[in-house]
A = this chain, B = another copy of it.
């Protein structure tokens, strides 16, 4: 492991050590704008043209048919169906527990205020194509959308070379109640969900990972009033390992992050150099057996090994770095859990690999990268609802509250705000509650 090793760096070095590599933000704006224009103007026709150009597939029908869904169900191996079922059940259970009841408070007698979560009406899920079918992401986005009760869930994913969508993706979609799956990939798929086409409904919020084109297109979507799940960046893990950690397990966890791609961020933080050395021996051994060894090796060569013997320094470093995934393989895990306030998702103990949360334990795998764990949450049920506040004030309530409103409005020089209360209080006092006469 040709990683960069830092022995007992001082706290004033933490910020620099936590810096992510500058994203190579190519200026894709010209390309993305063109794709958006074409999709806006030509709808399905543009999607088909792009599919021919980029996926090498001539489609006559963009929306996956009922027959294709049925075929997927019958084609998929039983073992994989059972695995998906286990994951589905756990993810459903954990996200259902996030359901929030309306909150209602009488802040003063006669002044009732409440807040209610309401599903976002239409959401769009993007599932990347490529060599591996990311059906796990279908579950991670589809299940909370289902629980939230979004009225319309549309999923876009590029077709395979044979013009079909991978059966595992369709199976997972069906399991989440998603019937609208569109064969469309990249920026054009995002554009379709922004503007709507003959086949694709326009949505209010976009979710899902993707390459640089998808990321740029999601950014562009913001300009058209859509919301997105969160800003994107390469995936990350930070493992904190002390002498109670198992070096082979730690190495396996680092590698499972590294295999995502050469830009994956992999950090080993430990209290002893000896641990770093033993993990490195394991890394070399395990790396060779991996099919994605080259990619993982590239990620490892950019990785960092940091030795901090003081626990509070280690906690301080973790909060500064704010990892997407944090694995705690250490004896004082409770001190770390209490002390850490910047992380996307935390995996505790020797038997809790990141891959559990990536697939099946129940937590969501769509998490803030690139330091965004400081100010963003991962995807959860919350991501699929907005919360509306309500209030109803009785005449007696307004008599109690009115003075404060009027004094404050006057001090902010907003006379009409004051007037809206005053005119009501006068009517209450006088008993003249004029409304529109009932006759037409």
User: Which of B204, B361, B392, B436 is within 8 Å of A113, CB to CB?
Assistant: B361
- A351 near B424 with CB under 8 A, answer yes
- In the complex, whether A343 has a CB less than 8 A from a CB of chain B is yes
- In the complex, whether A386 has a CB less than 8 A from a CB of chain B is yes
Interface class of chain A by DSSP:
mixed
- B382 near A378 with CB under 8 A, answer no
- B248 near A434 with CB under 8 A, answer yes
- A408 near B227 with CB under 8 A, answer no
CB-CB under 8 A from A60, the residues of chain B are none
User: Which of B362, B388, B403 is within 8 Å of A344, CB to CB?
Assistant: B388
CB-CB contacts of A375-410 with B at 8 A, as 1s and 0s? 111101010001111111111011001011101110
User: Which of B93, B351, B376 is within 8 Å of A394, CB to CB?
Assistant: B351
- In the complex, whether A66 has a CB less than 8 A from a CB of chain B is no
CB-CB contacts of A59-100 with B at 8 A, as 1s and 0s? 000000000000000000001101110110110011001101
- B136 near A412 with CB under 8 A, answer yes
User: Which of B258, B343, B411 is within 8 Å of A80, CB to CB?
Assistant: B411
Complex: chain B residue closest to A398, CB-CB: B351
Report Cα–Cα, A240/B115, bound state, in Å: 20
- A401 near B249 with CB under 8 A, answer no
- A225 near B371 with CB under 8 A, answer yes
Chain A residues 406 to 440 lying within 8 A of chain B, measured CB to CB, are 407-409, 411-421, 423-424, 427-428, 433-438, 440
Q: Which of A50-58, A155-163, A176-184, A270-278 contacts B (4 or more CB under 8 A)?
A: A270-278
Given A90-B107, A245-B436, check contact A407 B132 (CB 8 Å): no
- In the complex, whether A265 has a CB less than 8 A from a CB of chain B is no
CB-CB under 8 A from A113, the residues of chain B are 90, 94, 361-363
Q: Which of A29-37, A187-195, A284-292 contacts B (4 or more CB under 8 A)?
A: A284-292
- B395 near A351 with CB under 8 A, answer yes
Residue contacts A-B, CB under 8 angstroms, 11 given: A83-B403, A83-B404, A97-B105, A111-B356, A225-B371, A252-B423, A253-B420, A345-B390, A351-B393, A351-B394, A358-B409
**Lowest 10 CB-CB distances: which A-B pairs, in order?**
A107-B362, A83-B407, A86-B404, A227-B375, A90-B107, A353-B420, A355-B417, A83-B404, A252-B420, A256-B416
